[in-house]
Structure 1
Amino acid sequence: MSVATETAAVRKPANGGRRLRWPHYMLIASGLLVLLSLVRIIDDAEPVTSSGTVSAALRLAVPIFLAGLGGLWSERSGVINIGLEGMMILGTWTGAWAGYQWGPWIGVAVGILGGALGGLLHAVATVSFGVDHIVSGVAINILGLGLTQFLAGLLFNTGEAKALGGGPRQSPPIDSIMTLTMPVLSGGKIGGWQSPDWLGSLEQRHWFVLSDFAGILRGLTSGVSLLTLVALLLVPATFLVLWRTPFGLRIRSCGEDPYAAESLGVKVYRMKYAAVTISGAFSGLAGAFLVTVAAPLYQDGQTNGRGFIGLAAMIFGNWRPGGLAAGSLLFGYTDAMNVRGGGQAVHALLLFVAILLVGVAIWQAVRAGRLRPQIVTDAGRREVRNAYVGSALSLVAALALLTWFLLSEAVPGELVSFTPHLTTLLVLALASQRLRMPAANGLRYRRGEAR
């Protein structure tokens, strides 16, 4: 058996080589719901699956997702974009500046434009002038922060803006975007009629699984902003454009092998410019979301590192929109637990993660056992050995978390606030072995050069 053949065999999925489809994902989601419900009952931690936590998680996940989506477009074209944070900051300021004067939807449009200008600047530096992508991204972050602080003091602290509540570090308030609530299921009003709240009633009964499902569904159907719905629709839209259209194929070919794409007539510079500018527009939309939905005004430091977490969510999602959405929801959920649940709710998650790690350890051990008879070279043996080591480490981590859970009643506040960032580090560490970024990502391209 050749090394290439063996490597393919080693990396074959444990389910026989079949890709996971919707029934598999539904089964996994059902299992996680049962586990969350069990943890909620054991630790009496109602916020774990409450509608308030789910609603907050969705609201906190959307800007992370939009920033990550911007990174996805850029990096699929071969341009690393760590300037997402700076483009988000530009989106917050421009969105707030236009929003308080002409309304929230105009603010969203101008916020998209502000982020797109940041993306265009990144494209000029990296594509046309060949500046190192990391250096250019850092410069965009510094520029976005400094420029918006200067402009906020210049325009929000004088005249009409100051009279309306503006200041050197914040804008006047902005009208909120309309929210929707599903009648009958989640309450709300239709004209003068107060609709019943079936899901809310079921959630309050605290039944096993049923109340948890009702709480999650109510959080997704109560008080949802129209802009949130637009953001959710961008998941299938991005997939269709990048993976089902000639335009998307050209962009992805530039990220995999721009010289091969050039030989087939693709305008590589044009595609990279388009992708990076769209990347900035998505980041600007994330910033506009922060000032029109998350909080109805601009404030200095409002992004709070969400651009970098969006970049981490994109990597966790393996440079695909579905995985990016899942990673963003994970980070948004841990942040919501910090905001609404506090130490008690995070304490319940210790048991949840411990049980998951036991499952991961068992899966890795079973996978290594199935692959072991196929191994005939050192590379394969090393792969199997790594699987066994990962299984052992997962068990050790699970034992440590279980011990912590049993010996404590709540997680200290300092660790609670660090939970989203710790989740980012853990997820990236666990997902690193299955990641594959575009082959030409971050490489300098010059038309007509030999590779």
Structure 2
Amino acid sequence: MIEQEVRTPAPDTGGARPRGATRGLVIGLGVFVALILLRLITGETDITSSGTMGATLALAVPIGMAALGGLWSERSGVVNIGLEGMMTFGTWGAAFGAYFSGNPWLGLLCGVIGGALGGLLHAIATVTFGVDHIVSGVAITILAPGVTRYLSDLLFTDEQGGGATQSPPLPSFPTWSVPGVGKPLGSLENHHWILISDLAGLVRGVLTGLSPITLIAILLVPASFFLLWRTAFGLRLRSCGENPIAAESLGVKVYRMKYAAVVISGGLAGLGGVFLAMVASSNYQEGQVNGRGYIGLAAMIFGNWRPGMVAGGAGLFGYADALQLRGGAGAVHAMLLLIGIGLLALAVWRGYKGRYVAAVISAVVAVGVLLWFFLTDELPREIVTYSPHITTLLVLAFAAQRLRMPAADGMRYRKGEGA
């Protein structure tokens, strides 16, 4: 009877309902339509161009892998803010494996292993020794740059193009494109027709110049959903994040589940590091992660600890970064109009729900943003450069009230405590 209870999938905790996917598609479609209208109003073609869409996908991959790694860990009840450090281990591991073997696929394997070792260290500290999860994560983030600097100085300094802060040039992955879509869609995009050109830019951006790691990252999102919400293994793992004492009473090996989740979390973060070292760049460089592990955590929180929404959050932050890289100050300035209208709609919705104080605050901020848009022609360079980080803060501020984290996330668990 107990074994049957453990093996039988429980009712969903909020992330596995079919209507969730439909809602996500509707939201995505609504955002895309809003971007089309914004392009028409402002004349900023980079808002929906293939270059921006392709850059969005590329920039979302490392953020998405960090976010997915955080989801795996926190669904088991272990807070993982060491994702930044695990990504750093991944970048160095990719450089080590790819350079000394000459094989990019071995670099991929070594990068994932490097991140997984960082996850293992976090699991030993938090699960076995009961160290505070935040303290352990911060320690790993601080430790990683020092370790990789030492290893780089030891192994890369005498190599051509290498040194204590970077690796020599690395072998690259091939890029793939869907045959026959590049030129025809490019021609449609250049006409700047409403909807047709925008769709052409979207499809062309996501179907050309793809790296194998990008495809692997995309496939890992539904794979994570299936494993966590449609298998007995996932049910056991999630039960450890909701109530480990009850899970233990039903025969779940809680320590084993937590270890597996945190090591997988590190491996996913390491995969994001591989992308940074071997796809986004041609070598490992110190400081290459540049806060993406923390933005990944923000995407995980925005996504409410659910794979599909986490992917959407990564796409949002990737788009903010791509827009400031591809479109510059003009395109980012145009986003003020969209943000202002969105805040006005939020104010109306909150007023309808009877939350009048929140509605007034949203309306005041919306008016300020709209005035900023109409009274200026472009944004200061400093704001444009940090627009992805500003987006992170805004999203977390407005998403905080609807979040539902795992009930035992971050709690110190000792075997037998419930006896």
SS in 2 for 1:180: coil
* CA distance in structure 2 between the partners assigned to 1:23 and 1:219 by the alignment: 23
1:217 to 190, 200, 203: 203
1:416 and 2:381 equivalent? no
In the other structure, the counterpart of 1:149 is 149
In the other structure, the counterpart of 2:365 is 397
1:328 and 2:314 equivalent? yes
SS in 1 for 2:327: helix
User: Superposition pairs for residues 28-427 of structure 1, below 5 Å?
Assistant: 28-102=27-101, 103-158=103-158, 162-163=159-160, 165-186=161-182, 197-366=183-352, 368=353, 384=354, 387-427=355-395
* CA distance in structure 2 between the partners assigned to 1:246 and 1:335 by the alignment: 38
* CA distance in structure 2 between the partners assigned to 1:122 and 1:21 by the alignment: 32
RMSD: 1.6
- The alpha-carbon distance between structure 1 residues 404 and 311, as it changes in their structure 2 partners (threshold 3 A), is same
Greater Rg by CA: 1
Amino acid at match of 1:296: S
In the other structure, the counterpart of 2:7 is none
SS in 2 for 1:224: coil
Residue 397 of structure 1 and its aligned partner are, at CA, apart by 1.7
Tell me the number of residue pairs that the alignment of Structure 1 and Structure 2 aligns: 403
Residue 408 of structure 1 and its aligned partner are, at CA, apart by 0.8
Amino acid at match of 1:57: T
Is the CA contact (8 Å cut-off) linking 2:21 and 2:308 kept in structure 1? no
SS in 2 for 1:299: coil
* CA distance in structure 2 between the partners assigned to 1:25 and 1:199 by the alignment: 26
Amino acid at match of 1:265: G
Amino acid at match of 1:32: V
Amino acid at match of 1:59: A
SS in 2 for 1:272: helix
Residue 389 of structure 1 and its aligned partner are, at CA, apart by 2.2
In the other structure, the counterpart of 1:8 is none
* CA distance in structure 2 between the partners assigned to 1:141 and 1:28 by the alignment: 34
SS in 2 for 1:175: coil
Amino acid at match of 1:305: G
* CA distance in structure 2 between the partners assigned to 1:144 and 1:252 by the alignment: 28
* 1:11-68 deviation per Cα after TM superposition (whole angstroms, max 9, x unaligned): xxxxxxx984555444433332222122112222111111111111111110000011
- The alpha-carbon distance between structure 1 residues 450 and 263, as it changes in their structure 2 partners (threshold 3 A), is closer
Amino acid at match of 2:144: G
Question: With structure 1 as the length reference, what TM-score do the two structures score?
Answer: 0.87
* CA distance in structure 2 between the partners assigned to 1:28 and 1:279 by the alignment: 28
Residue 184 of structure 1 and its aligned partner are, at CA, apart by 1.8
Is the CA contact (8 Å cut-off) linking 2:88 and 2:270 kept in structure 1? yes
Question: With structure 2 as the length reference, what TM-score do the two structures score?
Answer: 0.93
* CA distance in structure 2 between the partners assigned to 1:178 and 1:271 by the alignment: 36
* CA distance in structure 2 between the partners assigned to 1:19 and 1:271 by the alignment: 26
SS in 2 for 1:294: coil
Unmatched segments (≥5 aa) in structure 2: 1-16
Is the CA contact (8 Å cut-off) linking 2:77 and 2:409 kept in structure 1? yes
- The alpha-carbon distance between structure 1 residues 435 and 24, as it changes in their structure 2 partners (threshold 3 A), is closer
- The alpha-carbon distance between structure 1 residues 72 and 201, as it changes in their structure 2 partners (threshold 3 A), is same
1:428 to 396, 402, 419: 396
Is the CA contact (8 Å cut-off) linking 2:24 and 2:309 kept in structure 1? no
Is the CA contact (8 Å cut-off) linking 1:173 and 1:297 kept in structure 2? yes
Amino acid at match of 1:44: G
Amino acid at match of 2:90: G
Is the CA contact (8 Å cut-off) linking 1:250 and 1:266 kept in structure 2? yes
